[in-house]
């Protein structure tokens, strides 16, 4: 370890990984998507014209191949009667809705499915709610098969997924979520050094624990602030007392108390021993606060309120190619900062010792 902190390869590696994360994370485009469909309600037996706006779409450039469906499932879908392209991101789509729906529901939500040669197939679930006056599923079935969904195109090229409320902020997965995982790794390392200190009573282990905890707190506060900015423009408020916001704030305050505790003891050995024990306690408190409690109740965060995190909905394979390097990159840079803090603490200690000896 003493040799490693004076070597540069792993620091350079961390910087290179972050350069990769920032360039690829910012430059890869979002997959084309549908942002709005208006109106969102219709009645059977009427003609309806929908204003559809797209994001990163190429309606104009692929005008000849633009097709739309109102879709219940692959078997029951109604192709558009006419498609009038306004611009690359706007299109007017007309449907004549049959007398009967292919389902027994009075109000049935339908997805909008778009396909063109450039953007591939895009689906917007539950886009239009159609109300029927009388119910006759069998008659509906035959009417809702005017043009089967075939020959769909596939978008080629690397993209990040399009999510309607998130938009481009899905990239914050690399700049906000990765901070928390890096923080977790750093806090694990800090806890290991605290255990090592209690076993060896070697002050170097205590300095490592303090340095890593400082870095973990830096990453945690950055995570909290970046999360607040992201929340403002997706959830509507910087701070909404979401269970995960609340529990992570408590976890960070518990870790802040680590440094208050350190300053309270003038005797170095006592300070190191008490703070090592407290650090282990703080880590034990961190796990339920961040990983258990938010899953027990409703949360605005994805992956909470019963859902497992990092399902295919939240993180697809192209995102993994940036997300996991981001975690490694933040961890390496965090370790670099921690090694600087550790070296500073060593210099401070040797100076204090020398001063006291005189």
Please give the residue ranges that form the binding site for another protein (CB under 8 A). 22, 26, 30, 55-56, 166-169, 171-172, 175-176, 179, 218, 221-222, 225-226, 229-230, 232-234, 266, 337, 340-341, 344, 347-348, 351-352, 355-356, 358
Q: How far is the CB of 241 from another protein (least distance, A)?
A: 20
Sign of CA dihedral 21, 24, 26, 30: negative
Beta carbon nearer to another protein, 22 or 291: 22
Beta carbon nearer to another protein, 49 or 169: 169
How far apart CA 6 and CA 314 sit, in angstroms, is 39
Beta carbon nearer to another protein, 97 or 319: 319
Q: How far is the CB of 75 from another protein (least distance, A)?
A: 34
Q: How far is the CB of 212 from another protein (least distance, A)?
A: 14
Beta carbon nearer to another protein, 151 or 354: 354
Beta carbon nearer to another protein, 130 or 183: 183
Beta carbon nearer to another protein, 106 or 351: 351
Alpha carbon distances (Å) from 185 to 33, 63, 163, 242: 35, 50, 29, 24
Radius of gyration of the chain (CA): 28
Beta carbon nearer to another protein, 165 or 257: 165
Beta carbon nearer to another protein, 1 or 27: 27
Say if CB 131 and CB 43 are below 8 A apart: yes
Strands lying side by side in the sheet with 82-87: 33-38, 47-55, 90-96, 82-87
Closest CA to 182 of 226, 242, 232, 240: 226
Q: How far is the CB of 55 from another protein (least distance, A)?
A: 6
Q: How far is the CB of 340 from another protein (least distance, A)?
A: 7
Beta carbon nearer to another protein, 156 or 356: 356
Say if CB 342 and CB 349 are below 8 A apart: no
Neighbours of 355 (CB within 10 A): 8
How far apart CA 263 and CA 266 sit, in angstroms, is 7
Q: How far is the CB of 333 from another protein (least distance, A)?
A: 9
Write phi, then psi, for 304 (nearest 5 degrees). Answer: -130, 180
Q: How far is the CB of 237 from another protein (least distance, A)?
A: 11
Say if CB 149 and CB 103 are below 8 A apart: no
Q: How far is the CB of 48 from another protein (least distance, A)?
A: 27
CA atoms within a 13 Å half-sphere pointing along the CA-CB vector of 99: 5
What is 23-81 written as a DSSP string?
HHHHHSPBPPEEEEEE--EEETTSEEEEEEEEES--TTTTGGG-EEEEESSSSSEEE-S
> Token digits for 247?
């529990």
Q: How far is the CB of 129 from another protein (least distance, A)?
A: 26
């Amino acid at each position: 370890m003493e040799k490693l902190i004076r070597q540069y390869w792993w620091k350079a590696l961390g910087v290179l990984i972050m350069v990769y994360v920032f360039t690829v994370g910012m430059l890869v485009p979002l997959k084309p998507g549908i942002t709005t469909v208006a109106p969102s309600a219709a009645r059977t037996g009427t003609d309806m014209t929908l204003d559809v706006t797209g994001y990163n779409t190429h309606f104009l450039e692929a005008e000849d191949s633009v097709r739309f469906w109102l879709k219940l499932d692959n078997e029951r879908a109604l192709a558009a009667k006419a498609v009038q392209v306004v611009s690359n991101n706007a299109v007017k789509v007309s449907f004549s809705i049959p007398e009967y729906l292919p389902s027994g529901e009075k109000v049935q939500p339908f997805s909008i499915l778009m396909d063109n040669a450039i953007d591939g197939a895009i689906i917007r679930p539950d886009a239009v709610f159609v109300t029927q006056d009388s119910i006759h599923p069998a008659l509906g079935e035959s009417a809702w098969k005017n043009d089967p969904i075939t020959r769909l195109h596939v978008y080629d090229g690397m993209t990040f997924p399009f999510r309607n409320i998130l938009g481009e902020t899905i990239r914050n997965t690399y700049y906000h979520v990765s901070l928390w995982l890096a923080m977790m790794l750093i806090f694990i390392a800090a806890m290991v050094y605290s255990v090592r200190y209690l076993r060896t009573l070697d002050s170097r282990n205590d300095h490592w624990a303090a340095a890593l905890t400082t870095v973990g707190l830096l990453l945690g506060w950055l995570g909290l602030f970046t999360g607040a900015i992201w929340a403002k423009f997706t959830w509507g408020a910087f701070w909404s007392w979401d269970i995960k916001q609340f529990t992570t704030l408590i976890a960070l305050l518990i870790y802040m108390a680590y440094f208050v505790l350190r300053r309270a003891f003038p005797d170095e050995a006592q300070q190191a021993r008490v703070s090592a024990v407290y650090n282990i306690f703080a880590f034990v408190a961190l796990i339920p606060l961040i990983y258990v409690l938010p899953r027990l109740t409703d949360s605005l965060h994805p992956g909470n309120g019963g859902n497992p995190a990092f399902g295919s909905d939240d993180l697809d394979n192209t995102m993994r190619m940036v997300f996991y390097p981001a975690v490694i990159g933040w961890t390496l840079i965090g370790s670099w900062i921690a090694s600087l803090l550790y070296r500073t603490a060593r210099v401070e200690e040797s100076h204090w010792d020398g001063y006291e000896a005189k």
